[in-house]
Structure 1
Amino acid sequence: MTDRIRTLLAEMNTLEEEMATALREQQSKMFFQIDGKRVEFERTLREEHRKLKSSLLQWLVAYRPQNLLTGPIIYGMAIPLLLVDLCISFYQACCFPIYGIVKVRRANYIIFDRQNLDYLNIIEKFHCTYCAYGTGLIAYCTEIISRTEQYFCPIKHARKMLGNHRRYAGFLEFGDALDYEKRLEEYRIALGKPN
């Protein structure tokens, strides 16, 4: 990896930290606090949220018909998602200890907190829970697979790939064979350290 790329990666990390700080500041401006797993809004804001919630009848009348028609297809994906969740969790539980890789905490990726929003009715909360599970599960899978890729083959592709995981930028350049085995072992050792 060149010095320029290391510098850019360091700048990206700094920007990510600044973004996290800005998001925390925004949370305080939105009048909510996070207490463990619980999100608490100021009392007046909770009351305003409750006033904005639409009833189930209003929601059904105003809802787009095509969304209702595709609902069974969308929610039918719950079965494959659950199966993927089971398989990837089993894989990690069995293989990561053997490889010496620190396990991915599922709770860092699959987060259910939108049910604390009083302006959502029960159907909207259900939709949000499903989407949080699906997107969180894909992020959880991506992190498990990216650690596996770092262990076995931390080499970039020759062609540009969209949607790279966060580890990809630090991988070896395509065709850079100098000290490959030694550097591969360094990547593996790094996976045994907590992030």
Structure 2
Amino acid sequence: MSNALEQLAKRTRELEKALETELAEKRKALRYRLERKRVVFEADVAARHRAARISLTRFLARTRLSIVLTAPVIYALIVPLVLLDICVVIYQAICFPVYRIAKVPRQDFIVIDRQQLVYLNGLQKLNCVYCGYANGMIGWVREIASVSEAYWCPIKHARHVSEPHLRYHGFADFGDESVLEKQLEDQRSKLENTPSE
């Protein structure tokens, strides 16, 4: 990776850390803390949340019919999502040990905690569980795919890639055959028996 790209990657990591610091400050302002993955709000905030909950009946009454009618289409995606999840678990269990790559932990990506918000009704909580699973699982699959791409074909594309994964900028430039073998060695040595970045 060129020095300029290394500097940009370093700056990106610094910005991510700054974002985490800001989120921690926001937690303080919203007056909650995490205890063993459980969210605990201060008592007066929890009472305010309970008072703000909209009943399921009222929630459904103000929901457009077209939204209600499309809900089965949205929830039907759970079938391919779970199948993809199972296939990727099997892929990672079989292939990553052979490649000597550390497995990408699911719990780092699939975060399901919004159902702990007492100002949400049961249907809103179910929707949040579904979205947390679906988006987290897709992020987890993307990370596993990025590790696989780094291992097998660390070459940038000729065309622009919208929102490439974090490893992408360290790949060999498209059309630069002189660095491919070294790039493969470098990427594989970075991945061998190390946790995902």
Per the shorter chain, which TM-score range? over 0.9
Question: What pairs up with 1:24-173 in 2 under 5 angstroms?
Answer: 24-173=24-173
Equivalent residues of 2:172, 2:179 under 8 A apart:
no
Moved more, 169-178 or 130-139: 169-178
- Cα distance in 2 for residues equivalent to 1:128 and 1:181: 45
Secondary structure at the counterpart of residue 39 of structure 2: strand
Q: Deviations over 1:67-125 (max 9, x none)?
A: 10001111111101100000011100110000011100001111110011010000000
Which residue of the partner structure matches residue 9 of structure 1? 9
* Aligned residue type for 2:191: L
- Cα distance in 2 for residues equivalent to 1:77 and 1:93: 24
* Aligned residue type for 1:44: D
Q: Which aligned segments of 4 or more residues in structure 1 are displaced greater than 6 angstroms?
A: none
* Aligned residue type for 1:108: D
Could you state the TM-score of these two structures normalised by the residue count of structure 1?
0.96
State the superposition RMSD in angstroms: 1.1
Moved more, 149-158 or 165-174: 165-174
1:2 Cα shift?
2.1
1:179 Cα shift?
3.8
Could you state the TM-score of these two structures normalised by the residue count of structure 2?
0.95
- Cα distance in 1 for residues equivalent to 2:33 and 2:53: 21
* Aligned residue type for 1:10: K
Equivalent residues of 2:171, 2:183 under 8 A apart:
no
1:14 Cα shift?
1.0
Identical counterparts, % of pairs: 42
- Cα distance in 2 for residues equivalent to 1:60 and 1:179: 59
Q: Deviations over 1:126-171 (max 9, x none)?
A: 0000011110010000000000000000110011011311111211
- Structure 1 residues without counterparts, runs of 5 or longer: none
Residues matched between the structures, number = 195
Secondary structure at the counterpart of residue 178 of structure 1: helix
- Cα distance in 2 for residues equivalent to 1:163 and 1:6: 17
Secondary structure at the counterpart of residue 111 of structure 2: coil
Moved more, 23-32 or 119-128: 23-32
